[in-house]
Structure 1
Amino acid sequence: MKKEETKIVDLYDLSHTQAADFLRQFTYPWEALAHIKEFILELGKTLPEGEYERRGETVWVHKTARVMPSAFLGENIIIGKDTEVRHCAFLRGNALVGEGAVVGNSTELKNVILFDKVQVPHYNYVGDSILGYRAHMGAGSITSNVKSDKLLVKVHAEDGDIETGIKKFGAMLGDCVEIGCGSVLNPGTVIGRNCNIYPLSSVRGCVDENSIYKKQGEIAKKVQE
């Protein structure tokens, strides 16, 4: 994946998120991470009172959403129409959860945008990340959002590195990405649309759209019918 292919317009169909206008302000998706809190607070003020239940000062839950009593909803949270938030989900803060999404048992969200129909259904950690339409993370798969050396995150594209200037950056998953169970997405990972990541993978850098990631250095292109 080249630098040009990591842009918002290449990864996401913006018709499937309430964050469309917000994301259009940026070129690269990770540029939005520092502004998610402010965006959610502004969007929350505009949500129809007849459709959303206000829970505290900065949490809005659509009245059709199913949120289990054991789920924790922190600050600056919007949960969309027909979304399911299961037992013991931990929504720490700064999270837009799209329409028809699933946030599963013991899944933790922090500073994220989940497009419509995203599924993070079992034991997932998703932090400082944006997940595109119908992206799915298998059980136990996580985004690692801080480098072990605590240095600023770079995006390793095919034609060179992109300096992001940020310390906390998990993963950018394009539309319809499938992450296999038990996988770790290292800081600064960018995965193109319609990719499949094998279970137990450790993914670093960028993965071209329409690819099957088997392991580092072994990536196959999907056959287009």
Structure 2
Amino acid sequence: MKLNVSELLDLSHTLAGDYLAQFEYPWQALDGIKELILALGPTLPTGEYDQPAPNVWVHKTAKVFPSAYLGAPCIIGPETEVRHCAFIRGSALVGANCVVGNSVELKNVILFDNVQTPHYNYVGDSILGYKSHMGAGSITSNVKSDKTLVVVRNGEERIETGRKKFGAILGDHVEVGCNSVLNPGTVIGRNTSIYPTSSVRGTIPADSIFKAQNDIAARK
């Protein structure tokens, strides 16, 4: 499976497009998300974005519920909803027409346009591609239990990331079923669906249906 940025993500659907284009693999971009947001924020049109707190930019058409927490730095894009008790810890670039739902926690992430994390999701040290969707209760696990550095497993290939914290990369149009866990270093190709209550690790090919770790069918 090819894991290049261009194979997984349509960069026209995020403010981070030029930034991501610099990298071979998308997880290489995780280290610089905070600095990216701090550089992008001051360039956003002041007539279109409010700045309710230092280094927090919210598009005027976005809907942020009163009980949501927006930690700096973050950018909330046009027509996005940040619902009750959402916890954006910081370093979150959230695109247009997204849903950050009730009790969802985001930390060091890029959400492309039209991403939905609607119910009880944790997304940390991850990138979610255009129109990807996390079912209720599905999470990214971003630290290995033994605290060793995350390795991406791609068939027989092992790619050292050098990162202690790395959740998942979701390609465009990925559907993750309810109550699934994406283990550290998971990479899911475009147009793939994950069955509910799955435990996913390694790389999952594009245009697939993941039923179990050893039961992955090609989408017809």
Q: TM-score, normalised by structure 2?
A: 0.99
1:59-70 alignment runs, 5 A limit = 59-70=56-67
Q: CA deviation at 1:175?
A: 0.1
1:171 alignment partner in structure 2 = 168
Structure 1: state its 5+ residue gaps. Answer: none
| Alignment partners' CA distance in 2, 1:122 and 1:156 | 29
Match of 1:58 among 36, 55, 58: 55
Secondary structure of 1:39's aligned partner: helix
1:18-33 alignment runs, 5 A limit = 18-33=15-30
1:156 alignment partner in structure 2 = 153
Q: Deviations over 1:169-215 (max 9, x none)?
A: 00000000000000000000000000000000000100000000000
1:135 alignment partner in structure 2 = 132
C-alpha RMSD over aligned residues: 0.5
Secondary structure of 1:75's aligned partner: coil
Q: CA deviation at 1:55?
A: 1.6
Indicate yes or no: 2:187 matched with 1:185: no
Which letter maps to 1:17? Answer: T
Q: CA deviation at 1:7?
A: 1.0
1:71 alignment partner in structure 2 = 68
Indicate yes or no: 2:40 matched with 1:39: no
2:212 alignment partner in structure 1 = 215
Which letter maps to 2:162? Answer: G
Secondary structure of 1:200's aligned partner: coil
Count of residues in correspondence between the two structures: 220
Q: Deviations over 1:71-96 (max 9, x none)?
A: 00011000000000000000000000
Match of 1:106 among 97, 103, 107: 103
Identity %: 68
Which letter maps to 1:190? Answer: V
Q: CA deviation at 1:56?
A: 1.4
| Alignment partners' CA distance in 2, 1:158 and 1:174 | 18
Indicate yes or no: 2:144 matched with 1:147: yes
Q: Deviations over 1:79-115 (max 9, x none)?
A: 0000000000000000000000000000000000000
| Alignment partners' CA distance in 1, 2:195 and 2:132 | 14
Which letter maps to 2:32? Answer: H
Q: Deviations over 1:110-166 (max 9, x none)?
A: 000000000000000000000000000000000000000000000000141000001
Q: TM-score, normalised by structure 1?
A: 0.97
Q: Deviations over 1:18-75 (max 9, x none)?
A: 1000101111000000000000000001000000001211100000000000000011
1:203 alignment partner in structure 2 = 200
| Alignment partners' CA distance in 1, 2:156 and 2:112 | 28
1:14 alignment partner in structure 2 = 11
